[in-house]
Amino acid sequence: MKEGFGKLTSLKEAKEVILNLIKEKNDEIIELDRALKRVLAEDIIAKIDVPHFKKSAMDGFAVRAKDTFGATNVNPKELRVIGSVKIGTVPKKTITNRECMAVSTGCMLPNGADSVLMVEFTERKNHKITIYKAVTPGENIIDIGSDIKKGKLVGKKGELINPRTIGNLASQGIKKIRVKKKPVVAYFSIGDEIIKAGEKLEKGKIYDINSKTIIAGLKEYNCDVIDLGIVKDNKEKIKETIKKGLRADFIIFSGGSSLGEKDLMCKAVSEIGTILIHGIAVKPGKPVLVGKVKNKLVLGLPGYPTSSLSNFYILVIPIIEKMLNVRYPLNTIKARLARKVVSTIGRYEFMAVKIEDNRVIPIMRGSSSITTLSEADGFIEIEENTEVLEKDSLVTVRLF
Amino acid sequence: MKEGFGKLTSLKEAKEVILNLIKEKNDEIIELDRALKRVLAEDIIAKIDVPHFKKSAMDGFAVRAKDTFGATNVNPKELRVIGSVKIGTVPKKTITNRECMAVSTGCMLPNGADSVLMVEFTERKNHKITIYKAVTPGENIIDIGSDIKKGKLVGKKGELINPRTIGNLASQGIKKIRVKKKPVVAYFSIGDEIIKAGEKLEKGKIYDINSKTIIAGLKEYNCDVIDLGIVKDNKEKIKETIKKGLRADFIIFSGGSSLGEKDLMCKAVSEIGTILIHGIAVKPGKPVLVGKVKNKLVLGLPGYPTSSLSNFYILVIPIIEKMLNVRYPLNTIKARLARKVVSTIGRYEFMAVKIEDNRVIPIMRGSSSITTLSEADGFIEIEENTEVLEKDSLVTVRLF
């Protein structure tokens, strides 16, 4: 009673072997404008205070607070307007005793002034204003460095760049930044039965699904993809295609649902490299092949769509994370199982689930099914040593 | 005591006015390979069953179940092997009494067979196999249409396309699909004080932050952006720039933190169009300007970085959603407030928050701050008629 795979490698061990073949990407310098979703490869320290000058937070008049003390509606005071500050310029005058200058929001505060009185509490007549309110020193002023102090970390090495971090960097006038280069991944599908979209579907043939889902997944994680197409069940062709893929950082292929393909894959990889693992204790997605060709990872995913896409989530994302030295945020929720789930002891299980009315509903349609994942909201991970998850038990769902 | 904005428009009313100016985008036909993150503009009905032929789920032998009945380890049976099925082809032979054919996973089932016996339970000698197990009819067979039945909806109009939906469509051999065209948005920043990254920073000037954050936000939502740069405080230039932007679906500008800019913006828009709203009851981000020029929305966001980016989340995303007729999934969590929050009655408040140890910590650094949002994990929305949120009250955080 042969198993076909001999002893299966645990997921943990497989990940170690795979990640050992993966090197962190080098850096490159790009425009900040193209930095969205890239990974910062340097700490960025603020070189300038933000704001880098004392400025008005309101439209009104820059004053010395003590000149306003005592002013109220019933007991107004008067100040002399010695000019107005033009936004974006350095005020030319200094305010002294009972003087003020008109300012608008964002204007630099003139020397001598320590606060801004809002325009709403004033009445202007030519070069005089009547003020109906007192202000305290510092009122309506945005101080130097109150948002970002010089020397503060405004971008952290390893950070995934989003519009908000871009704002931080833009405040420093930064034009270019150092980021991790994008991972480059080569992909091909293997199988005599696989045909391209648009081709006529004969009995026995199937359309290529895995190239579309895996490549879309890689693009979602901002990888550059070398699409090597569909390769027939032919050892030499497979070897040739792997060699073509060696200009990528690593190679993924899918296929080998059939016995003949399994053999071909193994032979092809071992003739030009080494097979490190064949068969991982995961469900679905057991028939994973991990090889090394010219020191590059060659990762064979199962032909079944759900298996190969599951493996993408549990094996390929960690590879991308290691290359970029980043952790993609896991989007998870906790909720209760709508029914009992029985898993296989000794195999990690990736179970696609739907969430309805805050209940977790396992989708069990088999690994050959593509709709399993397309109907799922996410998946739960069942550890190797867990056999049963009871109905109503609290589980963590990783949302897609 | 003037307010500067007269009566503020409620967020609800403002959204209605804004969305009334927005038309749904037309469709276009694109390659499935480029469909990631686009919005499907047609229902797609399966034209073929998946699988579209009866196939083997295992490596083994296609048999007639009744020929195996009774076979056990101690009482094995024998079958005659009349050939093997080549994957991707139609089997040329039909199985009759006590016959079988070798099949591998994914092979089409030969006529006459109704089940597959796994190779593990057999022993082959030339044209005979000894079988040590019985199978039931249908065992290890993937039936026609068991994954997708002809006529089933495999892609829904209005669906945001992800790798899993792409897999569904690929199973049908679909090469091109009808999607919503991408929104095209024109953007510019206004202000004499605003300078470009790379320029020398003089006192009184600030680097352009909003163009970077808003454009990155638009790209995150898969819009095409026309970047119209920075425009000085000059009415004619603003009018010119708005006119240039009219080839987009709508125009966003930011600026007008200063009194002079507010006037200029209003005059510029009203000289070539109509101002519909000036001032929305939201915090931060009150000084929003909603205008209409040649029937196109012109949306003026405040100059303060946090205000303009907050407005992006509460005003611009709904615009994109209306254009594409899609709802972007809200990524929310519920957690308890780490401290009491006081809000302003009559104003909707967008409050940036951090989440630490499952507690929600409001970040209150003011709307002029860019770090408010870059340090935030998300935001909570405080409705207009809410004044106080007590410490420990449960709030919904919209995660970025």
pLDDT tens for each residue of A136-146: 999 999 999 99
Q: Considering the domain boundaries, does residue A4 fall inside one?
A: no
How many CB atoms lie under 10 A from the CB of residue B268? 26
Q: From the CA of A240, how many Å to the nearest CA of chain B?
A: 22
Reported ipTM: the value is 0.91
Q: Do A370 and B216 touch (CB under 8 A)?
A: no
Give the pLDDT confidence score for residue A238 in this predicted structure.
96
Largest CA distance in chain A: 102
* Cβ separation B260–A208 shorter than 8 A: no
Tens-digit pLDDT profile for residues B90-136:
999 999 999 999 999 999 999 999 999 999 999 999 999 999 999 99
Tell me how close the Cα of B312 comes to any Cα of chain A, in angstroms: 11
Of A324, A347, A363, the position where a domain reaches its end is A324
Q: How far is A294 from chain B (nearest CA, A)?
A: 30
Nearest alpha carbon to residue B163 among A400, A229, A287: A400
Residues of B in contact with A366 (CB under 8 A): 57, 142
Residues A20 and A36 in one domain: no
Give the mutation candidate from A55, A175, A209, A222 for the B interface (greatest B CB count, under 10 A). Answer: A209
Q: Hey, of A29, A55, A105, which one would you mutate to test binding to chain B, going by the most B CBs within 10 A of its CB?
A: A105
A75-82 long-range contacts, CB within 8 A, separation 24+: A76/A130, A76/A131, A76/A132, A77/A130, A77/A131, A78/A128, A78/A129, A78/A130, A78/A131, A79/A128, A79/A129, A79/A131, A80/A127, A80/A128, A81/A124, A81/A127, A81/A128, A81/A129, A82/A127
Statement to judge: residues A78 and A211 lie in one domain: no
Residue A121 within any structural domain of the chain? yes
Residue B207 is nearest to which of A4, A146, A173, comparing CB atoms? A173
Looking at the fold, whether B41 and B176 belong to one and the same domain comes out as yes
**A399 half-sphere exposure, CB direction, 13 A CA radius:** 12
Minimal Cα–Cα distance from B176 to chain A, Å?
9
Q: What is the pLDDT of residue B330?
A: 78
CB neighbour burial string for B140-155, b if at least 16 within 10 angstroms, e if fewer: bbbebbbbbeeeeebb
Spell out which residues of chain B touch residue A174, defining contact as CB-CB under 8 Å. Answer: 197
- Burial class (CB within 10 angstroms; exposed 0-12, middle 13-18, buried 19+) of B224: middle
pLDDT in tens, B50-66: 999 999 999 999 999 99
**Where in the sequence is the domain holding A60, given as residue range(s)?**
55-142
Mutate to test the interface with A, among B169, B201, B206 (most CBs of A within 10 A): B206
pLDDT in tens, A154-200: 999 999 999 999 999 999 999 999 999 999 999 999 999 999 999 99
Residue pair B367/B285 in contact (Cβ under 8 Å)? The answer is yes
Q: Which amino acid is it at B208? A: D
Q: Do B163 and A213 touch (CB under 8 A)?
A: yes
Same domain, B20 and B45: no
Q: Do A164 and B104 touch (CB under 8 A)?
A: no
Chain B residues in contact with A197 by the CB 8 A cut-off are: 32, 170, 173-175
Q: pLDDT tens digits, residue range B136-166? A: 999 999 999 999 999 999 999 999 999 999 9
User: Measured between alpha carbons, how far is residue A308 from residues A203, A283, A284, A286, A314 in Å?
Assistant: 23, 11, 8, 10, 10
Q: Is residue B221 part of a domain?
A: yes
| Average pLDDT over all residues of chain B | 93
Q: Are residues A303 and A338 in the same domain?
A: no
Confidence of residue B32 (pLDDT cuts 50, 70, 90): very high
Distance, in angstroms, between A37 CA and closest chain B CA?
9
Q: Cα–Cα distance between B345 and B330 in angstroms, integer?
A: 26
CA distances from A184 to A28, A249, A276 (A): 14, 5, 22
Q: Are residues A187 and A229 in the same domain?
A: yes
End position of a domain, from candidates A126, A142, A158: A142
Q: Would you report the helix, strand and coil content of chain A in percent, each value rounded to 5?
A: 20, 35, 45
Q: How far is A54 from chain B (nearest CA, A)?
A: 9
- Annotate A69-101 with b (16+ C-beta within 10 A) or e (fewer): eebeeeebbebebbebbbbbeebeeebeeebbb
Residue of chain B whose Cα is closest to the Cα of A58: B258
pLDDT exceeds cutoff 70 at B83: yes
Chain A residues within an 8 Å CB radius of B52: 201, 203, 206
The answer to whether the Cβ–Cβ distance between B53 and A204 falls below 8 Å is yes
Residue of B nearest to A166 (CA): B213
Which of B4, B57, B217 lies nearest to residue A163, judging by beta carbons?
B217
Nearest to A374 among B33, B105, B167 (CB): B167
Same-domain status, B231 and B169? no
- Taking residues B237-262, report their average pLDDT: 90
What residues in A contact B51, CB-CB < 8 Å? 206, 368
- The span from the CA of B399 to the CA of A332, in Å, is 12
- ∠ CA A68-A70-A71, nearest 5°, is 65
Q: Phi, psi at residue B19, to the nearest 5°?
A: -70, -25
Q: What is the CATH number of the domain that holds B103?
A: 2.170.190.11
Task: Please enumerate in sequence order all residues whose Cβ is within 8 A of that of B223, keeping only pairs 6 or more positions apart, or say none.
Answer: B182, B183, B184, B185, B320
B203/A52 Cβ within 8 A: yes
How many domains, in total, are found in chain A? 4
Q: A328: which 2 tokens?
A: 């993609």
pLDDT in tens, B350-381: 999 999 988 999 998 777 788 888 889 999 99
- Say what percent of chain A tops pLDDT 70: 98
**Residue B1: per-residue pLDDT:** 33
CB contact under 8 A, B212 and A371: no
Residue A142's pLDDT is 95
Query: What value does the mean pLDDT take over residues A355-367?
Result: 87
Q: Which residue has the higher pLDDT, B400 or B253?
A: B253
Classify the C-alpha dihedral B229-B230-B232-B235 as positive or negative: positive
Of A302, A324, A346, which one is at a domain's C-terminal end?
Answer: A324
Does residue A3 carry a pLDDT above 60? no
Distance of CA A337 to the CA centre of its chain: 29
Q: Which residues from B are below 8 Å from A116, CB to CB?
A: none
SS3 B130: strand
Lowest mean pLDDT among A125-134, A259-268, B238-247: A259-268
Contacts of B258 in chain A (CB under 8 A): 59, 87, 104-107
**A280 is a domain residue:** yes
Contact list, A370 vs chain B (CB under 8 Å): 50, 147-148, 167-168, 170-171
User: What are the backbone angles phi and psi of residue A68, rounded to the nearest 5°?
Assistant: -100, -15
Cβ–Cβ below 8 Å for A167 and B303 = no
Statement to judge: residues A106 and A230 lie in one domain: no
Are B209 and B270 in the same domain?
yes
| Inter-residue contact B116 to B61 (CB < 8 Å) | yes
Mutate to test the interface with B, among A259, A316, A365 (most CBs of B within 10 A): A259
pLDDT at position B348 is 92
Pairing type for strands B224-231 and B184-190 reads parallel
Bigger pLDDT: A330 or B58?
B58
Task: Say which residues have a Cβ less than 8 Å from residue B200's Cβ, sequence separation at least 6.
Answer: none
Name the DSSP class of A339: S
- Whether A6 is covered by a domain: the verdict is no
Check whether residue A307 and residue A189 sit in a common domain. Answer: yes
Any idea what the CATH number is for the domain that residue B366 is in? 2.40.340.10
Q: In whole angstroms, what is the distance from residue A189 CA to residue A300 CA? A: 10
Neighbours of A260 (CB within 10 A): 17
- Record the tokens describing residue B227, joined without a space: 């970047």
| pLDDT tops 50 at residue B41 | yes
Query: Is the residue at B295 inside a domain?
Result: yes
| CATH number of the domain enclosing A36 | 3.90.105.10
Are A80 and A70 part of one and the same domain? Answer: yes
The C-alpha angle with vertex A121 and arms to A120 and A126, in degrees rounded to 5, equals 90
What are the chain A neighbours of B119 within 8 Å (beta carbons)? Answer: 2, 4, 259
Residues of chain A in contact with residue B366, where contact means CB-CB under 8 angstroms, are 57, 142
Flag whether pLDDT at A14 surpasses 80: yes
Has residue A2 got a pLDDT over 50? no
**CA of B294 vs chain A CAs: smallest distance (Å):** 30
Locate the chain A residue with the closest alpha carbon to B222. A36
Answer yes or no: do B212 and A170 touch at CB < 8 A.
yes
> Do the domain assignments include residue A161?
yes
0.90 exceeded by pTM:
yes
Would you say residue A216 lies in a domain? Answer: yes
| CB-CB neighbors (< 8 A) of A205 in chain B | 88
The per-residue pLDDT of chain A, averaged, comes to 93
Q: Are residues B192 and B285 in the same domain?
A: yes
The beta-carbon neighbor of B197 closest among A1, A170, A257 is A170
